[in-house]
Copies of this chain bind each other. A is one copy, B any other.
């Protein structure tokens, strides 16, 4: 599952985490795992933590000048600081969670993960522990550096595990600030309706809405995200976009309750 940076940090305030929200999400994850036996990877975004140095040093653009190396160090530090808070809250809630730092276990090529050493993740899943990768700076063989989003990391892992029966991904849960994908921006438009299901059959129709929609994340390009989830859906991996700001929804999603967000599926 992915915890969006926009719900675990305060977007308006640099280096400000939403500690209570993180603690509640950790409790919901633990409650679900007490009720049902399933493996889980919890990825999370960086929100307002790495955002400041990433903007200042234009880290996503690569190594563009001598200051870029300072940017790599500061983005990694900021992202890791937020990750410590998330992992500590998961441990506090009773989960055996462990950080997975992409900057130190992968290399990228033009902003996409080229290789990630996944054996530690495999072992943690075998131990029924929760690996916690997170949006991080990537060391990039073409651009020098890049920003690795949680989506990119979870997509890489999903594809890496596609043929691995032991760790095959059953579903991706994307936790954002609104109930799912809408026919318009729900903040601006009271008539915007939640789209319960996106499939290859209705994507063209939905795509028109998405172009003008803020969706779950104003910064990330919702259209691109939905298309990337649809790519996984075509391979048999469903995604579900839910509203994690509403208490109880994450637990319900983890327990498999239907119709609580937008499902992106094959049919």
Please give the residue numbers on chain A whose beta carbons come within 8 Å of chain B beta carbons, in ascending order: 63, 69-70, 72-74, 76-77, 80-81, 84, 87-88, 91, 95-101, 103-107, 115, 117, 119-120, 123-124, 127-129, 139, 141, 144
| CB-based nearest B residue for A102 | B104
Given contacts A73-B91, A77-B91, A104-B104, contact A120 B139 (CB under 8 A): yes
Nearest chain B CB to A70 CB, angstrom units: 5
Residues from chain B with a CB closer than 8 A to the CB of A98 are 72-73, 76-77, 103-104
Nearest chain B CB to A251 CB, angstrom units: 21
A-B contact pairs, 8 of them (CB 8 A): A69-B96, A99-B103, A104-B120, A106-B120, A107-B119, A107-B123, A120-B139, A127-B144
| CB-based nearest B residue for A131 | B104
How far is it, in angstroms, between the C-alpha of A141 and the C-alpha of B119 when the chains are bound?
A: 10
B88 touches A84 (CB 8 A): no
Which 8 A-B pairs have CB atoms at the shortest separation, nearest pair first?
A: A117-B117, A105-B105, A73-B96, A123-B139, A69-B96, A101-B101, A100-B104, A104-B120
